[in-house]
Amino acid sequence: MWACSGRLGLPCWRSGWLVYSADFNHTEGSGTLSGYLDHPRVICMAIDLSSIDHFQDAMVTVMGLGRFKQGSGVGASKWLMRHGAQIVITDLKSAEELRESVDEIMKWYSQYKKEYTHRNIYAPVFVLGTHDAEDFTNVDLVMQNPGVARESEFVTLAKKEGVPVESDISLFFRYCPFPIYSVTGTRGKSTTTALWGEMLRHIHPNTVVAGNITRSPLEDLDWLLEEKTPVPVVLELSSWLLESLEGLGKGPQIALLTNVYKDHLDRYDSFEHYLWAKELIFKEQQPDQIALLNADQELSEEVASHVKSQRVYWFSANALPEGKLGAFQDGDQLIWKLEEAQGTFAHVHDLAHLVGEHNVMNALSASLGAHFAGVSDEQIHETLKTFAGLPGRQQIIAEVEGVLYVNDTTATSPEGVIAALKRFGRGGNLIWIGGGSSKGLPFEELAEQVRAQCRMAILFDGTAFDDLSVALGSEIPIVKAMSMAQAMEAASTEVKLGDIVLLSPGTASFGLFKNEFDRGEQFNKAVEALKGV
């Protein structure tokens, strides 16, 4: 258990919420905290963001720690402490829910303070289970986790009081000394980001790949600032991360939008609002920077009309329309055609681990971005042949007694599930594990595909259960699962030789799992256990 002594003269417990403060002794899985902020709270002024040096002694509130140890909240907290800020980390989740993230920060703080005894580093203060208005009004800066909605009353309060609100992404854009390449989209953005990063490693082995895909880019900022020669940086940016770039005045050198489908309607009040957020990847670009768009989506024309860049290029699974330049598929060839020349990146049969039309589009878009960044056709070709893909994306885990198990945990929208059903379905050979926390999306088209391809639907308990059940109707059996163990037990009683058990949720993971990666890892472990039976 954690024990604490107080914060700014307040008791540790007040109205049911827990506050952590200051120096501590830590052992794996437990710890003791005692102490206080190094200085009493004083009247604060908005921080001057023109220099990183101004973070020394600044009072900063990190709003939203999050449960992902490599996420924005943890990354921002470490970076701020490293640069001398006095931070208050506040989250509506409980201490128990955030234990892993708190442990990560505390272990880092303890180690850093021991290694850099000459640095003036302040201990973090945690306010968990609630927010305190004072932490948003009497501070120099608020760091907003992307999981916190911009409409939050506390974000609004900070802005009303003239307190700057930033994110780890906006700070990285402010201070990164090298061009940044960025990817967003509803589907395919993680694979495209990772693939683009692998291509860039041919020209610089230390290429940074960060953002929504792995970890906060602030983890890399300090060493990048010390580099003498440019290092490529590729960031995956969700719509939530992009919101913090609005008005920044600095955008990606190359911005890539994979596609846009209805998603996150639990966060946005309409599809148009969600599309607006995605378009922010282009909004801060300069005219000479590059925008890459999907020619196979009709709405891309509208998006292109809003782009400031005068260098708009396209990618397509078909021949490009007249007047458009970029990358496209012609039969078995992946071709690029620009103003000065044209060439071939690869053949479709070279994409050994990138199966499906959606992965052809990922390959085309990443290759086009890499081409503009200076990677040769030969280097792009080599990467496309060897890239193994990312875990949890239509990933074949194992075949056990004639049954194939596929992990597609990152399919968090109906369109993602439909792509997996079309790839693996053979008319009734699938047992589908899906459902979870609703994102406000329609399920009718998904239900049609499930009825056509699946013998059984196993749905996780959550806010999407009722809507999915109604959409599916009574044509196939539906089983409710309260855990991954229950889902796999239900699947095991139904499978027969030649079946495929497909985890492809089509929803968010909130509730039963820490995140989508935890959901996928639990599935993988369950499959491994079956192999040992």
**So what's the pLDDT on residue 51?**
94
Which domains does the chain carry?
2-166 (3.40.50.720), 169-386 (3.40.1190.10), 395-531 (3.90.190.20)
Which pLDDT score is estimated for 37?
39
Instruction: Note the pTM of the prediction, 2 decimals.
Output: 0.85
Measured distance CA(215)–CA(146) in Å, rounded = 13
- For tokens 């990048």, name the residue: 224
Side chain identity at 292, as an amino acid letter?
A: L
CA distance 9 to 144: 26
Distance CA 495, CA 48 (A): 62
Helix (H, G, I), strand (E, B) or coil at 388: coil
User: 457: buried, middle or exposed (CB in 10 Å: 19+, 13-18, 0-12)?
Assistant: buried
Per-residue confidence in pLDDT tens, the chain, 533 aa: 333 333 433 333 233 334 544 343 444 333 333 333 333 444 566 889 999 999 999 999 999 998 877 789 999 999 999 999 999 999 999 999 999 999 999 999 999 999 999 888 999 999 999 999 999 999 999 999 998 988 999 999 999 999 999 999 999 999 999 999 999 999 999 999 999 999 999 999 999 999 987 789 999 999 999 999 999 999 999 999 999 999 999 999 999 999 999 888 888 889 999 999 999 999 999 999 999 999 999 999 999 999 999 999 999 999 999 999 999 999 999 999 999 899 999 999 999 788 888 899 999 999 999 999 999 999 999 999 999 888 999 999 999 999 999 999 999 999 999 999 999 998 889 999 999 999 999 999 999 999 999 999 999 999 999 999 999 999 999 999 999 999 999 999 999 999 999 999 999 988 899 889 999 999 999 999 998 75
Both tokens assigned to 225 = 């600032």
Contact 293, 300 (CB under 8 A): yes
3-state secondary structure of 316: strand
**Cβ distance 234 to 197 under 8 Å?**
yes
How far apart CA 491 and CA 499 sit, in angstroms, is: 10
Q: Which amino acid is at 215?
A: R
Q: What angle do CA 85, 86, 90 make, to 5 degrees?
A: 115
What is the identity of the amino acid at 467? D
What whole-number distance in Å separates Cα of residue 167 and Cα of residue 152? 15
The pair phi, psi for residue 137, each rounded to 5°, is -115, -35
SS3 440: coil
Residue 123 per-residue DSSP state: P
The dihedral built from the CA positions of residue 97, 263, 258 and 170, taken in this order, carries a sign that is negative
- H, E, C per residue of 42-103: CCCCCCCCCCHHHHCCCEEEEECCCCCCCCHHHHHHHHHHHCCCEEEEEECCCCCCCHHHHH
* Cα 55 → chain centroid: 26
Length of the chain equals: 533
Collapsed DSSP state (helix, strand, coil) of residue 419: helix
What is the pLDDT, as a whole number, of residue 533?
55
Distance CA 395, CA 520 (A): 10
Give the list of residues 6+ apart from residue 345 with CB closer than 8 angstroms, or none: 327, 334, 335, 336, 363, 364, 367, 371, 377, 380, 381, 384
Q: Which residue in the block uniquely carries the two structure tokens 């990312």?
A: 390
pLDDT at res. 359: 92
pLDDT (0 to 100) of residue 18? 44
